Structure 1
Amino acid sequence: MERREAGRDWAYRVDSYGFERPEDFDYASYEAFFSRYLVVLTRRAIKWSKLLKGNKSIQKSLKVKRYIRKGIPNEHRALIWMIVSGAQANMEQNPGYYHRLLEGEKNDKLVEAIKTGLEEHITELWHLLLEGAAEARDMNRTFPDNVKFRKTADPCLQHTLYNVLVAYGHHNKAVGYCQGMNFIAGYLILITKNEEESFWLLDALIGRILPDYYSPAMLGLKTDQEVLGELVKMKVPAVAELMERHGVMWTLVVSRWFICLFIDILPVETVLRIWDCLFYEGSKIIFRVALTLIKQHQAFILEATNFPDICDKFKQITKGTFVTECHSFMQKIFTDPGSLPMATINKLRETCREKVLSQG
């Protein structure tokens, strides 16, 4: 009897994706939200089933875009991500390619970097990104709070993750392996439950949707953090002025938002809803999410009176009901920041890229 109770308690503490809930997890608020969200999920599942009608393909359209913004049911998520990102087409055009990468000759340095990256403590990259920050996160292994990635799990997803990263490093030699990719690939594996699909989705993200985010110089990542700073100047000027006054660089407060695509920053369901739109609409979704978080909490951020206080405020704004209520949160990201044309982002990228390059 006690063992059954303990089993039920353990199941309660682990969500459907395998993540252990923290000790301070607000079960009451979450259950109140999820009972409402379940109604939305059920309604969306019916609409998606009608849209797909058993087909394995869809054409991009305003209707599909609207459906994706309202959320993809989990049973269709991997398929839709594969189709709209172009990963499905690439996989079909390159049959057997993934397995050939795994069976081919390996670069020992790359393999060692991946093994080390998946196991060691704080890495050089995170020191670089968080230099000067009050706290650096312990990254001794990918998803330490996810039971599916533990060595005791059956099956253990660590080997699947290793395969995807090794294959990708040999596929994209210019990138190889960069810390942060393990989290992205890990999430893809949790959703697709398929090595090859995870590989092609990783390629869609790193090769097309987020170019230069994970290259050794991280030029795209650094550029987009500067772009966010410029967008905040335009849309939430008081916050931009606060950051400037206290000499807080954007990289100190948003680097993990960008490099982990909100993994381990926002709740799982919210991250997946963001990724639904990211695969369809591209990188500007990241700016919409970041601007919404900042705009919604402008008054709270402006209460900060010093450098550490600002950093702490940026940690706090990614917690609580606002981000847990993923359905209303996703509606806000398309209204709160206002107009955000890709032309504006591209123009800002040009000037910010030059600025980053001049800084060396």
Structure 2
Amino acid sequence: FCRVDPYGFERPDDFDYASYEAFFSRYLVVLTRRAIKWSKLLKGKNSIQKSLKVKRYIRKGIPNEHRALIWMIVSGAQANMEQNPGYYHRLLEGEKNDKLVEAIKTDMNRTFPDNVKFRKTADPCLQHTLYNVLVAYGHHNKAVGYCQGMNFIAGYLILITKNEEESFWLLDALIGRILPDYYSPAMMGLKTDQEVLGELVKMKVPAVAELMERHGVMWTLVVSRWFICLFIDILPVETVLRIWDCLFYEGSKIIFRVALTLIKQHQAFILEATNFPDICDKFKQITKGTFVTECHSFMQKIFTEPGSLSMATIDKLRETCREKLLSQG
């Protein structure tokens, strides 16, 4: 294994090559098997209908060569792109908001400094592509404009699709539909969902909820980046992509499944914490190690470990948490 992973990210100095190699040789068998199944499913066509079989296949991972296509179809981004030909390019050619452009430019060098494809020396340098996608999106969705976190998400989309326009429409699917109100100036959707997670933890891992309450640790302190960055830079790349496979098909409840699995699986470890900084540190630790690196077994866990979790439950909790937040002003 070389120092740079297949997506262009440099592996950290303390990267455990031996255990990763052991995992990857096992995972390669899974990938090969899935690739054959997906080829049969697609039969060389560039289309797919949503079905229980497709949902099952997606939960088991989309092969990288089909990932962009499947994300585009199941998220609705493909249909939107086809219904709006030339729209993306018109956004880029139109008049620009200087403040928006400045904010995006400022974040360019901060986006994946550890990825060789985003370096100024890279050819082609993906910073230019990223800049275009974010500027176009900021002018498309003026209510959101641009906020930090969107750069990482758009960056991942570009690494997978290798296509500017597709990345734009996938970003639109995520921000406009899948994660409603996460990135608007008040970030109401994001704040609400962090509270919803707190309520779900009370129901499913009460001892951890009690610990947090006892030490006065707000959920936003330990999980806000899980939500804002959709686990980018928190979990390993391959694991993040597997989570996104399901996110595009099944929507935002996947984020809760992942969060609950991380917390439930490491409950005993978290409960060892005796003070505020200790709790925050434990939450950083639970996103590392073999449990999260082994993406295939991790993804199986997220559908079993948290138990049943319906969209109806989440919607109800969202309603009460939102009202509570609004009443607090």
Class of the TM-score when normalised by the shorter of the 2 chains = over 0.9
Aligned equivalents of 1:291, 1:195: Cα separation in 2 = 34
Change (3 A) 1:28 1:64: same
Aligned equivalents of 2:82, 2:40: Cα separation in 1 = 25
Counterpart of 2:72 in structure 1 is 82
Q: 4+ residue runs of structure 1 moved beyond 3 angstroms?
A: none
Shift of 1:112: 1.2
Shift of 1:206: 0.2
Shift of 1:357: 1.5
Of residues 208, 220, 240, the one that matches 2:177 is 208
Q: Deviations over 1:234-277 (max 9, x none)?
A: 00000000000000000000000000000000000000000000
2:118 touches 2:125 (CA, 8 Å); kept in 1? yes
2:154 touches 2:171 (CA, 8 Å); kept in 1? yes
Shift of 1:177: 0.3
Q: Deviations over 1:141-161 (max 9, x none)?
A: 100111110111111000000
Aligned equivalents of 2:23, 2:285: Cα separation in 1 = 20
Aligned equivalents of 1:236, 1:140: Cα separation in 2 = 40
Aligned equivalents of 1:353, 1:175: Cα separation in 2 = 19
Q: Deviations over 1:199-247 (max 9, x none)?
A: 0000000000001001011000000000000000000000000000000
Shift of 1:109: 1.4
Q: Deviations over 1:47-101 (max 9, x none)?
A: 0000000111111100000000000000000000000000000000000000000
Of residues 24, 31, 39, the one that matches 2:21 is 31
State the identity %: 97
Change (3 A) 1:212 1:328: same
Change (3 A) 1:87 1:139: closer
2:51 maps to 1:54: no
User: Normalising to structure 2: TM-score of the pair?
Assistant: 0.98
CA RMSD, 1 decimal: 1.0
Aligned equivalents of 2:326, 2:288: Cα separation in 1 = 34
Aligned equivalents of 1:80, 1:337: Cα separation in 2 = 26
Shift of 1:300: 0.2
Aligned equivalents of 1:186, 1:292: Cα separation in 2 = 26
Aligned equivalents of 1:154, 1:356: Cα separation in 2 = 47
Shift of 1:359: 2.3
Aligned equivalents of 1:161, 1:105: Cα separation in 2 = 18
SS in 1 for 2:181: coil
2:144 touches 2:185 (CA, 8 Å); kept in 1? yes
2:108 touches 2:127 (CA, 8 Å); kept in 1? no
Aligned equivalents of 2:161, 2:113: Cα separation in 1 = 20
Shift of 1:324: 0.2
Q: Deviations over 1:314-342 (max 9, x none)?
A: 00000000000000000000000000010
2:4 maps to 1:19: no
Shift of 1:110: 1.1
Shift of 1:358: 2.0
Counterpart of 1:71 in structure 2 is 61
Of residues 262, 270, 284, the one that matches 1:315 is 284
Number of matched pairs: 327
2:158 maps to 1:189: yes
Shift of 1:311: 0.2
Aligned equivalents of 1:305, 1:243: Cα separation in 2 = 10
2:61 touches 2:242 (CA, 8 Å); kept in 1? yes
SS in 2 for 1:13: coil
Aligned equivalents of 2:249, 2:78: Cα separation in 1 = 13
Shift of 1:114: 1.1
Shift of 1:140: 5.8
Aligned equivalents of 2:261, 2:37: Cα separation in 1 = 28
Aligned equivalents of 2:79, 2:221: Cα separation in 1 = 38
Change (3 A) 1:113 1:284: same
SS in 1 for 2:6: coil
Q: Deviations over 1:18-69 (max 9, x none)?
A: 0000000000000000000000000000000000001111111000000000
Q: Deviations over 1:92-143 (max 9, x none)?
A: 000000000001111111111211xxxxxxxxxxxxxxxxxxxxxx996100
SS in 1 for 2:108: coil
SS in 2 for 1:217: coil
Aligned equivalents of 1:273, 1:358: Cα separation in 2 = 37
Of residues 284, 299, 305, the one that matches 2:253 is 284
Aligned equivalents of 2:251, 2:94: Cα separation in 1 = 32
Q: Deviations over 1:281-336 (max 9, x none)?
A: 00000000000000000000000000000000000000000000000000000000
2:108 touches 2:131 (CA, 8 Å); kept in 1? no
Structure 2: runs of 5 or more not aligned = none
Aligned equivalents of 1:343, 1:256: Cα separation in 2 = 25
Shift of 1:356: 1.5
Counterpart of 1:243 in structure 2 is 212
Change (3 A) 1:150 1:140: closer
